[in-house]
Structure 1
Amino acid sequence: MKHFSILALLAATALSSCETDVDLPEPPHTPRVALSFTLSANPQDSSFSELYYGRQLYISNSQSAFDTKELTGRNDATVDLRDAAGQVVERYRPASGSPQQGRPGEPGYYRPVLGFRPQVGQPYTLRATLPGFETAESTLTLPAAPVIESATYTPRAVANPNSSDYSGRLSLVLRDDPAAANYYLAFARLLDKQGKPGNWSPVDVDYNSQSSTVGSIGQFQLSSPQQDYSVFPFADTDANGARIALTSDVRYYSGCFSPGGNCPQPGYMEVYVSSITADAYNFYLSRRRYYDSDGNPFAEPAPLASNVRAGYGLFGGATDATYRILLP
């Protein structure tokens, strides 16, 4: 055994003293428009930005694999939305950079200017052009709204009656359409007693709960619309035409984040379920795989799915249904 150890040490020393420079050819790359946008019928006001931060139109451009410059958004794109007849129904211009219209000071976010409301079942084409780049485009048909049969929230006892930390169990049931392949997202938020949003915390999965089984691909679970990693799409592949149930332990804080801290108590929990297009479902899945493989040199390649012709990224569609639960 001693002889083997010496040989192994000599071999390791010899290998460490050899250095070989390998020139890797740069992969060919044609710069293209890169974009992310989820079309929906919701008006894009401040409430939209709060709920659907990840759905806003964002425009950038691709760069080569060996390019180390930080990639930023582009404010010089020409973007429009067209109906089935090819008529322009919406145009987009760079957002001002306010918190309601994108991250402060960050370029690349766009907002609509014509106030068009897309219709369920109709096809739409998004076209985006940057100076010197080929026009990128993608087409989708806006899916039908999901059907929420019921939703309940059962609070757990609070150890400290003066605490603003609340937890409980959220349950909802969908009636799935057997005539179509369906893809869903679900999330929730708080409203005051007049049904208006406030500055409370988001309604998130209670990761401290022993019964929480979050993060599994293929499980119907609550997402967070403001965190890319916490978006969990669900396909009805194994439940086509059946009733689909979501049960999740959740947590929220009723303390106010606004200046002065004077927030009313929340009166409702509003559950949102979105029907999303198949391309959006595939993109969200690929993004989760990409995040999961980050920093792992032995992980399988995890490229992001794309449905943009002559470009990269996602043009997805979503149609929402809501269910309002009165809080005790």
Structure 2
Amino acid sequence: MPILSTITQRSAVLGLLGLGLLSACETVIDLPAPEHTPRIALKYVLSSYESQNQKGNDELANSRNLFVSNSQRIFDNRENKGRQDATVVVLDGSGAVVERFEHAPPRYPDDLGFYRPTMGLKPQPGQTYTLRASLPGFESVESSLSMPAAPTIESATFVKNDSKSNPNDVYGQLSISVADDPRAANYYVAFARVIDSKNPDYQGWSQVQVVEDEADTDVTSDLGRFQLSSINSFLGYSYGLYPYADTNVNGQRFSLSANVRYYPGHCQTQNNCQGPDYMEVFVSSMTRDTYNFYLSRQRYNETEGNPFAEPAPLASNIKGGFGLFGGTTDAIYRIKLP
């Protein structure tokens, strides 16, 4: 018998024996599904920001829209879609309804669960608001908050790097300085975008991004560093969300400096060019619950795919349900672009 044939036969026999041994050692454990009562799950960030974009592609506005769904069992692998049959209202401190919502038309077949306001509420800093939501067959939920005061942006500058910029990207250094209010515990997030002040439909997708090859990827929001976030991160599409608490800078001035880039626009024809003329720097004050939610989501993203990571549950402030009723007040500083 040829040597190769003998080795092959022996390998096959050993392989079958190995499979038999592995099968003999295999143990099947039935994990009982935890008790679960389906509850309403939602996310809404109350703010006075009003989009001028008529095309629906304002990422900042989209990140704060109301979304309503419901929880499902831990072993349920079906896609959890949004609900379009919710009733949601916002009440002021006196109990009067100051905002109602209607389901937004889907942009594609599964684009369900997003709602738009109908009464044009402009929340005021220091005022208390309560959100109440109901779905057929579910226990109603609610949550309350007090709107934070607007931050104070002392200065913001952008210095273009001409040698690095090109027709597809403008590079430069963005610096922001903020004065903290010593009378309260404050929670911030900073981000920026470029706009065409003559064309509101340009704003929305034109975010300013930290240059990836120069970003300090080892620094996370846990270290308490004031960093520039990206608008996309509020939607959960990226990891660049850095909520910041004034724990170590109460009543002091604090700042950031980041190497950034943005898309400079394009020319549809030789005489029809669309591009930004201002950079808008946002520093937003958040409620403590909003800060905790974003911080927990950042930690959740950082544990993705790691089977040895500690559990990173999302924070929630919805009584009787899950999710976030958040509040944020923006301060905006405009920089004229060169």
Counterparts in 2 of 1:268 and 1:31: CA distance versus 1, 3 Å: same
Q: Give the superposition deviation at 1:76.
A: 0.2
The answer to whether 1:213 aligns with 2:216 is: yes
The answer to whether 1:18 aligns with 2:25 is: yes
Structure 2 equivalent of residue 138 of structure 1: 143
Given residue 213 of structure 1, which amino acid in structure 2 is its aligned partner? Answer: D
Structure 2 equivalent of residue 46 of structure 1: 53
TM-score, reference length from structure 1: 0.88
How far apart, in 2, do the equivalents of 1:257 and 1:123 lie? 47
Give 1:242's match in structure 2, choosing from 240, 243, 252: 252
**Gapped runs of 5+ residues in structure 2?**
1-16
Q: Give the superposition deviation at 1:261.
A: 11
The answer to whether 1:184 aligns with 2:185 is: no
Counterparts in 2 of 1:299 and 1:129: CA distance versus 1, 3 Å: same
Give 2:160's match in structure 1, choosing from 128, 134, 155: 155
How far apart, in 1, do the equivalents of 2:133 and 2:127 lie? 20
Structure 2 equivalent of residue 60 of structure 1: 69
Given residue 79 of structure 2, which amino acid in structure 1 is its aligned partner? Answer: E
Is the 1:181–1:236 Cα contact (8 Å) retained in structure 2? yes
Structure 1 equivalent of residue 314 of structure 2: 304
Given residue 222 of structure 1, which amino acid in structure 2 is its aligned partner? Answer: L
Q: Secondary structure at the match of 2:302?
A: helix
Counterparts in 2 of 1:119 and 1:303: CA distance versus 1, 3 Å: same
The answer to whether 1:128 aligns with 2:106 is: no
Identity of aligned residues (%): 53
Structure 2 equivalent of residue 202 of structure 1: 207
How far apart, in 2, do the equivalents of 1:175 and 1:167 lie? 27
Q: Mapping of 1:213-232 within 5 angstroms? A: 213-214=216-217, 215-217=219-221, 218-227=224-233, 228=236, 229-232=239-242
Q: Give the superposition deviation at 1:159.
A: 4.9
Q: Secondary structure at the match of 1:320?
A: strand
Given residue 39 of structure 1, which amino acid in structure 2 is its aligned partner? Answer: L
Given residue 188 of structure 1, which amino acid in structure 2 is its aligned partner? Answer: A
Given residue 193 of structure 2, which amino acid in structure 1 is its aligned partner? Answer: R
How far apart, in 2, do the equivalents of 1:64 and 1:306 lie? 18
Give the stretch that moved more between structures: 257-266 or 65-74.
257-266
Which of 1 and 2 has greater Rg? 2
Structure 2 equivalent of residue 7 of structure 1: none
How far apart, in 2, do the equivalents of 1:262 and 1:185 lie? 36
Instruction: Provide Cα deviations, 1:241-266, integer angstroms capped at 9, x if missing partner.
Output: 11010111101121339899954332
Given residue 225 of structure 1, which amino acid in structure 2 is its aligned partner? Answer: I
Given residue 46 of structure 1, which amino acid in structure 2 is its aligned partner? Answer: N
**Gapped runs of 5+ residues in structure 1?**
1-9
Instruction: Provide Cα deviations, 1:112-149, integer angstroms capped at 9, x if missing partner.
Output: 11112111100000011000000011000000000000
Structure 2 equivalent of residue 279 of structure 1: 289
Given residue 185 of structure 2, which amino acid in structure 1 is its aligned partner? Answer: A
Counterparts in 2 of 1:236 and 1:194: CA distance versus 1, 3 Å: same
Counterparts in 2 of 1:104 and 1:243: CA distance versus 1, 3 Å: farther
Counterparts in 2 of 1:192 and 1:82: CA distance versus 1, 3 Å: same
Is the 2:81–2:110 Cα contact (8 Å) retained in structure 1? no
The answer to whether 1:265 aligns with 2:275 is: yes
Q: Give the superposition deviation at 1:50.
A: 3.3
Give 2:92's match in structure 1, choosing from 76, 83, 100: 83
* Number of matched pairs: 312
Structure 1 equivalent of residue 10 of structure 2: none
Counterparts in 2 of 1:89 and 1:171: CA distance versus 1, 3 Å: same
Is the 2:53–2:201 Cα contact (8 Å) retained in structure 1? no
Q: Aligned-residue CA RMSD in angstroms?
A: 2.6
Counterparts in 2 of 1:22 and 1:220: CA distance versus 1, 3 Å: same
How far apart, in 2, do the equivalents of 1:154 and 1:194 lie? 23
Structure 2 equivalent of residue 5 of structure 1: none
Counterparts in 2 of 1:284 and 1:159: CA distance versus 1, 3 Å: closer
Instruction: Provide Cα deviations, 1:193-217, integer angstroms capped at 9, x if missing partner.
Output: 64856267421111123xx325521
Given residue 129 of structure 1, which amino acid in structure 2 is its aligned partner? Answer: S
TM-score, reference length from structure 2: 0.85
Q: Secondary structure at the match of 2:212?
A: coil
The answer to whether 1:254 aligns with 2:260 is: no
Give 1:119's match in structure 2, choosing from 112, 121, 124: 124
Given residue 19 of structure 1, which amino acid in structure 2 is its aligned partner? Answer: E
Give 1:96's match in structure 2, choosing from 88, 91, 105: 105
Structure 2 equivalent of residue 168 of structure 1: 172
Counterparts in 2 of 1:44 and 1:104: CA distance versus 1, 3 Å: farther
